[in-house]
Amino acid sequence: MARLRSWVVAAVSVTVMSACVEGGPLRDVPVGHIALAETACAEGPTVEGIDVSHWQGSIDWDRVASAGVEFAFMKATQGTDFLDSELQTNWDGARNAGLVRGAYHFFCPSVDGADQAEHFLETVGSLGEGDLPPVLDVEVFQGAGCSWSGVSCSTIISNIHGWVDRVVSETGRTPIIYTNAGTWDGSVCGSTEFSDVHLWVANWEVSCPGMPRAWSEWAFWQTGDDGSVSGVSGGVDTDLFNGDFAALQALAGSSASGPRCGDSTCADDENCSSCADDCGTCERTCEPLGETGGIVDELSPCWIPFGPPRWDDESPEGYDGHLFWVPPSAGPEPLNGATWNLRLSAAGTYRLEAYTEDYGSRPIESARYQVAHAGSVDPFIVDQSATDGWNLIGEIQFAAGEGQYVSLDDVPAYTEERTIVLFDAVRLTRVDPTEPVEDEVVAPPSGGGCCSASRVSGSLHGLCLAVVTLGFLALRRRRWL
């Protein structure tokens, strides 16, 4: 990736993850020497994230997701016996809120690295799609059984190798090392043996991070230790990923332990709509709706999704037992969206509805539907949490034929704390009367019958006319029954 470079003289200090060390978070423990640090800036897009541990207490992950956070690292283990008390809650909460998640191990330099890796792997278990590679947190901290005092560089490097090699062997994934220029260039003696491992660099309150000399670019950057994020009480570590969301997903989807879109295998939970790369292009035969309307669901050939593979359908809810959802986009531009193409057999006024579910009080309240109809495109704001079932979009005039549609993306109409956007079936129901059958003109007999002038006269002729008239009216009435 292209980088902007500058050389700065910096007083190197140990930047400590505020969430990570037993005994409490530390702040700016000086190493006491001056070093040259090369900085590396991200030229392209970045993605916002956080890292947490039990020091943050209970976290409302739905609110975190609604604040624009797209990924989260959480402490799992330390040494060979410590387990973070909030790991399971945070691990499940981040996934349920739609975040990309990762777990880290706090490194003790004097403890066998392979044993530390075994403790981490047994605690976290197998990693799947949406899980970032394992992280080794390498930073100087004196205490809690993780003393750096008197530990040689060769021992430290050997134990880092033990952890990294064991993780690669067990997971098949290239791990991430969290560190900072002071720790790595000083206590790890600037080792270049891990330059092929992803770097998560810590450097707070700067425009671009100072780099350990072994790396030339970073995958993640811890930008601060006291950020304010909705859903987290008090300060929290803030982070950036060096790339766009699709690149983050690719990094999180590289596990061989589970299927993912783009792995050349059409898995049971993939189809031509959700993953054309693996399952092939759908045979798109979008059938016309009937004269009274019909339903277009999210598995229909008329439904066309777009965006990265963030679609989640791990739910039995929804119309006909299925729906898709994605977390809202963190910015003004959509990441995901879909179009329901409409082919109508008859013009008319239709009630247009979307199928929604309250789904744990998480669907957004300001979904932006766009409806193309009869030569116009109009917006409709719908509260997806308001109705379990058919949720009214509006009564709309449609023309007959193709070129009309309903579309929805993942950008809410206004800022809110809800955390998912639902994509399910839409239904059209004809509400204006169908055209009545034209009346046939029924003329009374002219050449014979009871009213023939040659056969009746006077009052009898008038009575005959009355009978014919009543019969004619009765015939008209029967045509409207």
- Catalytic site positions: 51, 137, 139
Closest CA to 12 of 153, 220, 210, 223: 210
What is the torsional sign of CA 314, 315, 316, 321?
A: negative
3-class DSSP state for residue 318?
Answer: coil
d(CA 425, CA 53): 40
* DSSP bridge pairs for 396: 350
Closest CA to 78 of 70, 69, 87: 87
Burial tier of 10 (Cβ tally within 10 Å: 0-12, 13-18, 19+) = middle
DSSP code of residue 449 = S
What distance, in Å, lies between the first and last C-alpha atoms of the chain?
75
Task: Spell out the SS3 assignment of 320-356.
Answer: HHCCEEECCCCCCCCCCEEEEEEEECCCEEEEEEEEE
29: left (phi over 0), alpha (psi -120 to 50) or beta: beta
Residues recorded for the chain: 481
Give me 82's structure tokens: 């410590």
Give me 190's structure tokens: 């600037």
| Integer CA distances (angstroms), 129 to 64, 101, 268, 459, in order | 21, 10, 14, 94
